[in-house]
Amino acid sequence: MNQKKRKMNIRLVLSVFALLTVFWACRKNYSNPLDGDLVAVQKGLSLKEAQAFHRSASVNFKNADRQVMGTDATPPTFSGEPVVRWNKSDSYKDGRFEMLEVPIWFPKTRLTAYSFDGNKVNDVSNQAMLAASFSKYVIYRDPLKNKITARILTFMPDKAYLKKYGRYAIKNTGRHLEKNFSGYIEMRDMKQKSILIVRVKAGKVVKTVRMQRRPTGSKDRQQEGSATMSSCPDICDPEYEMDCHQGQPDPDASGGYEVECTRVEVGVFCYPDPFCSPDPWEWPDPNDCDDPANYYLPQCGYEPNPCEDWGECGPEDDDEDPDTVIYGGLANHQLPKTNKLPPRTTTDVQIGATCVFKTMEWISKYYGGTTTVGDILLRYAQDKGLTFPQLMAVINTNGIPSADVQSLATHYFDTASTTNLHTSINNGHPVMGTILVNGLGHEVMVTGYFTNGIMEYFDPETGTYHSKPANEIFNVIEIKGKK
Amino acid sequence: MKMKTKRINATSYFSLLICFLGYINISNAQIDKSDAGIIKRTTNIYNIIKSKGSGDIISRDLIMDPTLIANLDVPSKDAVKKQYGNIQADIVMVIIPKPGVEFLDLSQIFDKYKIDHEYRKYAVLIDHTETTDAKTLIANVGSIKTVIVNKEKMYIDIVTIFNKGYNDFRKRTKESKTQLLKKAGT
């Protein structure tokens, strides 16, 4: 037969591929392949709504004014009519929340010079550190509760950052952290209640801790320690009262001009050492989902976006410091080999509808294995006598039978049936399980549980951790090790 | 005599992709929409077949016996972007066939099954399933059972040796779906 030179006519078919029901095995990305990384721009809270909320809620600020010199167990941190620079507002959507963020400053503020890591630089003073701090007023609506709430975010560059880069960190926002920013962000509600302190290193959120405030007192308190936590004495750091007023125009400053402040040390602020406490992530009442402080808890429906709470979105930098990668989720009780768990957020997510296969790849990694999605997919296709278009078409419509998942798992792993996910986690064993997402099946890796019993799992599709009650995870297979 | 496909390396292939962008492909445009039995393609797949010494072949519609695959890699989207540029696909499969595996392209398949040139403009199906870009279709030798021309509905259906297992697989997955829904109480 003549070997003719054949010309292969090629066309790139730019078709919108179908939104198919993905059942047992996986959801898939219902995106037009042409869309690429394009994401629909979603609107946040409008300026009009935010200003209306601010007017109705300003009573909280006034209450703060009355309490400013008090000695309550929860002392106020600011007072006076705040100055809100509405012309610098930024409206956006973060997860399900509709946000509006705007620079704010207070005529009188109290701030603590925390002695956390990054602040142990002798040649940068507390005064200089506090002078570099700035605040953002974040007003947001939770559509699920149809409720608008506000928080104050105070950005405090740490001393190490200041020594290296100087004072200007003003371009950081709740929405966007600059890649070199290191410091702390203290979140307070409008009633002066400290909610969170977020540690940021190199533009990434690396730790989020709940601060339990002790009464502000004199320096003598530092020697007293804590009567309630003798194994973890309180930390007492100097607290400063800041008197601020509008200064010279400065385009780099929030609001377009300098805010000039004087700082006077007024005592110490004592708090349990968040890194010593038995459980620094323990919340006073984690089931109270009406408490704004708990909105950021998974059991209250919060799902962190892939960029972390306030992290920087976008592709990972090639030169990213590997030390900044956090492995494992947020659960109080996690699998023991934390550094073998999937990262807190990762772009290494399932391709198409391969959640069963990707979940198995992550579990293989947990046990030090090298089994890949391709290995498992190939074995499965060979076993079933299917071509890949056929295999993927089926997975995308109905998934793969649960019996087949079981047989695949037992081929690669030592498995056990389990009826108690908590016991499996306590035994140090990850669990494969199926969850229902919008009525569709999706395979995940169960990695831990919270004190209130809610399970935490790594989702191979989103590349992040989420949570669900144990009775909403089906077809569970405990993985005891690799073969 | 065995037929062998022409090997095209990845770089030149992408150039061709660009050149032919916008070219109207008769293979995909004329499926009779009244035929509800045609199975829709659900996944946008690029198959990259790597072969020693003869470069890569990219096929959107690959018919291949998986037992003839030596290695399969399903790279992440980041890895695809780095290695293959701007491929926009749900899945990219990088396939290394076992030694000696040979492929036929679409014109070779038509020649082998003596498809009249008059019908070669018809839409092409694989096991009654839509193709994505039939011009890039390749099949390993021995994977095709027969080729059927439907003149009334104007399509050519390439029937593979895998079809029996496929139907059984679909049936079992549907049953599993029902069971899971029952278990979930929905």
Split at pLDDT 50, 70, 90, the class of B119 is very high
Provide the Cα torsion A167, A170, A173, A177; round to 10°: -50
Nearest CA of chain B to the CA of A114: how many Å?
A: 39
Which residue of A5, A12, A375, A391 to mutate against B (max B Cβ within 10 Å)? A12
Reduced to 3 states (helix: H, G, I; strand: E, B; else coil), residue A259 is: strand
Contacts with A377 from chain B: Cβ below 8 Å: 72, 74
**Cα A404 to chain center, whole Å?**
35
Of the two residues B79 and B13, the one the predictor is more confident about is B79
Contacts with B62 from chain A: Cβ below 8 Å: 387-389
In CATH, A326-482 is 3.90.70.10: yes
Contact A352 B43 (CB under 8 A): yes
Model pLDDT, residue A341: 94
Per-residue pLDDT of chain A (483 residues; tens, 9 = 90+): 444 444 433 232 222 222 222 233 343 332 222 222 222 234 678 888 888 888 777 655 544 433 332 333 333 445 567 788 888 888 887 766 788 888 888 887 778 888 777 676 667 778 788 888 888 888 888 776 677 878 888 888 888 888 777 666 777 777 777 888 888 888 877 766 677 777 788 887 776 676 655 544 433 333 333 333 345 667 788 888 878 877 666 555 544 566 777 888 887 777 766 666 544 433 345 555 555 455 555 555 555 443 333 333 333 333 334 446 788 888 888 999 988 999 988 888 888 778 999 999 999 999 999 999 999 988 988 888 777 666 776 666 666 888 889 999 999 999 998 889 999 999 999 999 998 877 778 899 999 998 888 899 999 988 889 888 999 899 999 999 998
Contacts with A11 from chain B: Cβ below 8 Å: 20-25, 133, 135
User: What is the full DSSP assignment across chain B?
Assistant: ----PPP--HHHHHHHHHHTTT---HHHH---TT-TTSBPP---EEEEEE-TTS-EEEESSEE--GGGEEEEE---HHHHHHHHSS---SEEEEEEEPTT--EEEHHHHHHHTT--GGGTTSEEEETTEE-S-GGG-EEETT-EEEEEEETTTTEEEEEETTHHHHHHHHHHHHHHHHHHHHHHT-
Residue type, A373: V
- Give the Cα separation of B106 and B62 in Å (integer): 11
What does the block give as tokens for A47?
Answer: 């300026």
Contact A5 B78 (CB under 8 A): no
Burial class from Cβ neighbours inside 10 Å (0-12, 13-18, 19+) for residue A218 reads exposed
Contacts with B105 from chain A: Cβ below 8 Å: 6, 8
The residue assigned the tokens 């392949």 is: A33
Contacts with A357 from chain B: Cβ below 8 Å: 74
Reduced to 3 states (helix: H, G, I; strand: E, B; else coil), residue A60 is: helix
Nearest CA of chain A to the CA of B126: how many Å?
A: 10
Nearest to A365 by CA among A410, A327, A326: A327
Contact A351 B91 (CB under 8 A): yes
- Give the Cα separation of B114 and B108 in Å (integer): 9
Q: Which residue of A has its CA nearest to B65?
A: A387
Average of per-residue pLDDT values in chain B: 75
The residue assigned the tokens 């089931």 is: A287
Contacts with A20 from chain B: Cβ below 8 Å: 42
Model pLDDT, residue A96: 65
Q: Which residue of B has its CA nearest to A434?
A: B180
Model pLDDT, residue B78: 81
Which residue of B43, B104, B174 to mutate against A (max A Cβ within 10 Å)? B43
Model pLDDT, residue A4: 44
Q: Cα dist. A348→A355, A409, A479 in Å?
A: 12, 21, 22
Nearest CA of chain A to the CA of B150: how many Å?
A: 22
Contacts with B160 from chain A: Cβ below 8 Å: 387
Nearest CA of chain A to the CA of B152: how many Å?
A: 25
- A residues 12..51 contacting B (CB < 8 A): 12-13, 15, 17-18, 20, 23-24, 28-29, 33-34, 36
Contacts with A382 from chain B: Cβ below 8 Å: 66-67, 69
A201, HSE (Cβ side, Cα atoms, 13 Å): 14
User: What is the full DSSP assignment across B64-111?
Assistant: --GGGEEEEE---HHHHHHHHSS---SEEEEEEEPTT--EEEHHHHHH
Write the Ramachandran bin of A194: left for phi over 0, alpha for psi from -120 to 50, otherwise beta: beta
A463 and chain B: CB distance < 8 Å anywhere? no
Q: Which helix (H) or strand (E) holds A30?
A: none
Nearest to A12 by CA among A33, A36, A35, A39: A33
Model pLDDT, residue A39: 27
Nearest to A397 by CA among A24, A17, A16: A24
Identity of the residue in A15, A374, A436 whose CB atom sits nearest the CB atom of B184: A436
End-to-end C-alpha distance for chain A, whole angstroms: 50
The residues with which A444 forms a beta bridge, in sequence order, are A433
User: What average pLDDT does this structure show over B118-142?
Assistant: 89
- Scored b (16 or more CB within 10 A) or e, A355-365 reads bbbbbbbbbbb
Residue type, A188: R
- Look at residue B182 and tell me whether its pLDDT is greater than 90: no
Split at pLDDT 50, 70, 90, the class of B10 is very low
Nearest CA of chain A to the CA of B167: how many Å?
A: 10
Contact B44 A17 (CB under 8 A): yes
CB B156 within 8 A of CB B107: no
Q: Which residue of A has its CA nearest to B173?
A: A401
The residue assigned the tokens 């509800």 is: B36
Contacts with A348 from chain B: Cβ below 8 Å: 76, 78
- A residues 300..339 contacting B (CB < 8 A): 315
Q: Which residue of B has its CA nearest to A20?
A: B42
Nearest CA of chain A to the CA of B56: how many Å?
A: 14
CA quadruple A222, A223, A228, A229: dihedral sign: positive
Contact B89 A385 (CB under 8 A): no
Model pLDDT, residue B28: 40
- A residues 261..290 contacting B (CB < 8 A): none
Split at pLDDT 50, 70, 90, the class of B186 is low
Contact B42 A17 (CB under 8 A): yes
Nearest to A240 by CA among A112, A354, A352: A112
Model pLDDT, residue A342: 94
Weakest mean pLDDT among A443-457, B12-26, B51-65, B75-89: B12-26
| Percentage above 90 pLDDT, chain B | 27
Reduced to 3 states (helix: H, G, I; strand: E, B; else coil), residue A431 is: strand
Nearest to A393 by CA among B106, B123, B147, B125: B125
User: What average pLDDT does this structure show over B62-69?
Assistant: 89
Domain boundaries, chain A: 47-293, 326-482
Model pLDDT, residue A415: 94
Reduced to 3 states (helix: H, G, I; strand: E, B; else coil), residue A364 is: helix
Which residue of B42, B109, B182 to mutate against A (max A Cβ within 10 Å)? B42
- Give the Cα separation of B16 and B21 in Å (integer): 8
